[in-house]
Amino acid sequence: MKSLCAVDGVSCAGIKEGKYGLALIQASGMAAAVFTKNLFAASPVLLMKERMAGGRLDGIIVNSGNANVYTGEQGMADARRMAEIGASALGTTPDMIGVASTGVIGRFMKMEIVERQAAVVAGTVRSDAAAEDEAAAAIMTTDLFPKHACAKRDGFTVAGITKGSGMIAPNMGTMLGFLYTDAEVTVPALQEMLTRAVDRSFNRVVVDGDTSTNDSVFVTATGRRGPADPEELYGALEEVCISLAKQIARDGEGATKLIEVRVTGAEYEEDAAAVARTIVGSSLVKTAVYGEDPNWGRIIGAAGRAGVEFDPRMATVTIGEGDALVTLARRGEILADDKVNPEALAAAKDLMKGDTVIFGFDLGAGEASATAWGCDLTEKYVEINGKYTT
């Protein structure tokens, strides 16, 4: 029997009926999680912030279609009831169940749908690729495709599924991530690894900056394959998180291109991350990428307002990578321009025609670096978000 992307001890199932979906994931082990910092946190987020102190989970229940936000005491009771339904389906106690929701804000849960779907799904929990696809599809809202990733190492595996079209869906914006490994690891180490990996992946995705009320990432380590080298385990976890984050960025509403911004030469990683996020989040940069216009003036304009101190005379802006790298401007000198260097400008324009556009920005100040991901801004984004009616 195949396990979920070959993670030993993990099985799952899911169902999607119109906008209402439900996934069950069975995985017993050490668990850690990170949650949204939005003040209007969803009921399941409030519940889980308390319960994750236990450091262990046997499984997770997730619904799509209703975010269970701004629902008061009734919402908290519904989140607790979801844990009971999950526990009953997976044969454990409610305190061992992780709960997550995504969907519309400000509506009470239709618990009869959760109960019915859980009853259907409970009988189909299994560890094969089709089950993983079902689970990934069940948690989608406006996502165009299910998202999963896997990193195999000698002796253990890390895998996961995620949903989110850029944390921005119309009134349903949420990024959820569910990660698994069969390596053995302590809870504090797992929490530290997850926090760091999320910071370098999901937190570097900028579609429109609208952090959701429900964003949650869980990781469970079943331990079935025994201890792993911490650095190797972290590397695999980060690889999975970055793969999932890039899939979210590419699935941004109306997006036609993935944008990757690599900032180097910073004094501190957080400085590099702030500059990378500001560039990739700039509406002017996003529209320029959509228009395939290598408009480096917009990149320096964004970098200059990122709130990071650096000497603008030392900065370098590039497009592309490896052999196909074009320097647009370096230390005050313009290197790709229709007058100064039209061949370089033409090469830069060519590098914008693909479905991935990579910008480099070097601050010339130190050794730290960070990468951020986003997508272009298109008429379709406006159409999707403007015409949505509650």
- Distance CA(97)–CA(93), nearest Å, equals 7
Say if residues 60 and 71 touch (Cβ distance below 8 Å).
no
Site for a second copy, rule CB under 8 A: 37-41, 69-70, 72, 104-107, 168, 170-171, 173, 208-213, 282-284, 287-288, 290-291, 293-298, 300-305, 309-310, 312, 329, 332-334, 337-338, 345, 376-379, 381-383, 385-390
Radius of gyration, CA atoms only, the chain: 22
DSSP label of 141: S
Can you tell me whether residue 322 is helix, strand or coil? Answer: coil
**Is 174 among the residues known to form the active site?**
yes
Q: Smallest gap, in angstroms, from Cβ of residue 195 to a second copy?
A: 19
> Annotated catalytic residue: which of 141, 142, 157, 174?
174
Residue closest to 217 by CA, chosen among 50, 27, 93, 48: 48
Residues 6+ apart with CB under 8 A from 378: 254, 255, 256, 290
Query: Any bridge partners for residue 24, and if so which?
Result: 13, 61
Closest CA relative to residue 48, chosen from 65, 63, 31, 64:
31
Residue 284 neighbours by CB distance under 10 Å: 14
Residue 3 or 278 with smaller CB distance to a second copy: 278
Beta carbon nearer to a second copy, 89 or 345: 345
CB of 316 to a second copy, least distance (A): 12
Q: Say how far apart CA 35 and CA 202 lie, in whole Å.
A: 12
Minimal distance, residue 303 CB to a second copy, in Å: 7
In angstroms, what is the minimal distance from the CB of 116 to a second copy?
21
Which of residues 37 and 353 has its CB atom nearest to a second copy in the complex?
Answer: 37
Known catalytic residues are 174
